[in-house]
Amino acid sequence: MQITRRHQLERGERRSAVRPRRGFTLLELTVVLIMVGLIAGMAVPRLNYEKYRADAAMRTVRSILQGAQRNAIMRQTNVVVAFNMAAGLMEIVEDTDNDCSHDAGERLTTRPLEDGAKFYLPPAAYGSPVSQAVSGPNMCTIRGLPAIQFLRDGATSTDIDAYLTSSRGTATDFRLVRVTMASGRTEAFRYDGSAWKRTN
């Protein structure tokens, strides 16, 4: 039996009528985007951005202290790091005459904390109680600020504890950077609301 041109066309139209369509309509895409927007709108406020700011500030302080230690060893001169707690920044002085003061010709660099972070007294100190956010038994003073000296052998003039938090200042946003005098080594800690936990 011979299939005519008309039958071929009719069969083709039927095939195209049952073929599944591809893609989405504009209405379907709009509905999906609205649903995604509503779900994201409910989820985003629950994210704790403040703890990320506190973590970033902790990393900044730690890297500045580690950089000061490397600089002291490499240049074979003391490097002083001072803490301006009111302004939320750190001052680094290449102390060429090793007198823990900023003299003419000695390089001074200023590094701020991350936005929304600050030095602040914690709800509970790591170990014995502290009276200020950055403390140590033998801190020197430079430009009227409490400071630590990194010596040419990599050690420091004192042990220090530097407490930080976010602008929100809730208990779980507190961070600690601790420097050990003998080695100049820095360690970082997070406060979970009841105890300090060491981080990498």
Helix (H, G, I), strand (E, B) or coil at 71: helix
Tell me which amino acid residue 173 is.
D
Q: What is the pLDDT of residue 46?
A: 59
The pTM is what?
A: 0.75
Domains with residue ranges and CATH for the chain: 5-46 (no CATH), 49-199 (3.55.40.10)
Amino acid at 162: A
The total of other beta-carbon atoms located within 10 Å of residue 52's CB is 14
Amino acid 167: pLDDT: 87
Low-confidence ranges of the chain (pLDDT < 70): 1-21, 43-48
pLDDT of residue 11: 59
Q: What is the predicted pLDDT for the residue at 15?
A: 57
123's tokens: 């709800």
pLDDT tens for each residue of 38-80: 888 776 665 667 888 899 999 999 999 999 999 999 999 999 9
Residue written as tokens 């823990």?
A: 100
Work out the number of other CB atoms within 10 angstroms of the CB of residue 170.
Answer: 15
